[in-house]
Amino acid sequence: MKIGILISGRGSNMQALVEACKAPDYPAEAAVVISNRPDALGLEYARYSGIPALVVDHKAYASRTDFEVDLHAALKDHGVELVCNAGFMRLLTKGFVDKWRDRQINIHPSLLPAYKGLHSHERAIAEGVKITGCSVHFVRTEMDSGPIIAQAAVQVLAHDEPGDLAARVLQAEHKLYPHALRLVAEGRTRITGNIVTIDGESTPSPVLFSPGLYPPG
Ligand code: GRF
């Protein structure tokens, strides 16, 4: 399955997906990386990896819809079958989301539906939660909502600063996203309403794992 990866910055999740795609038995191929910001660090890695890396700069467009027309065209030009948002920081309109319905996924650094939007880690710490994590989900119009494919749990440690927690969750993201993409690209995900089921699901489930819930110290 040809994937297009949308980024806005660092691109470490994009890098995790691209690395996964290099394995011969991985069911997805990175066809293009597109950033809405010309200065996104991730573009360098994509180019270094020999993957077409484009900028569709949202600031160059008069409207969101105009921006999305070119974004859609760039994805189509590269034969993209599934869009993977990876730290892509633009809200997409219903028109674009509907065009890619059930063919666009996103990663968010919380256990959805908790802590949608920005500053997930700050809010988790402020509210004293003991477990947070990350989620990969199909994209719907409402921000950070849509059928959840897979989640990973991460412990919030005493005295965590948001940056500490973000770094720990990011490590889980880098495992979870390639894992979730594999399930989608293998055609194993079935969506019914807001629920995703996985064909051939075993016990323990392939869609939930919790790396290092009890780290030393
Ligand atoms: C990740 O935490 C992702 O979940 C969130 O933004 C961050 C992007 O990081 N949406 P990177 O660009 O993938 O390194």
- 215 has a pLDDT exceeding 90: no
Report d(CA 53, CA 62) in Å as an integer: 23
**pLDDT > 90? residue 203:** no
- Model confidence pTM above 0.75: yes
In this structure, the residue with its CA closest to atom 1 of ligand 1 is 87
- CATH homologous superfamily of 1-100: Formyl transferase, N-terminal domain (3.40.50.170)
Residue from 5, 7, 12, 13 whose mutation best tests the ligand 1 pocket (most atoms within 8 A of CB): 13
Residue 102 neighbours by CB distance under 10 Å: 15
Helix (H, G, I), strand (E, B) or coil at 32: strand
At residue 87, the pLDDT reads 97
Q: Indicate which residue's Cα is closest to atom 10 of ligand 1.
A: 87
Domain boundaries, the chain: 1-100, 106-201
Q: Please say if the pLDDT value at position 179 is more than 60.
A: yes
Ligand 1, atom nearest to 7 Cα: 12
**Catalytic residue ranges:** 108
CATH 3.40.50.150, applies to 106-201 = no
- Strand order, beta sheet including 104-108: 53-55, 29-35, 2-7, 82-85, 104-108, 131-138, 148-155, 208-209
Q: What is the structure's pLDDT at 207? A: 56
Q: Is the pLDDT of residue 205 over 90?
A: no
Does 212 have pLDDT greater than 80?
no
% of the chain exceeding 90 in pLDDT:
91
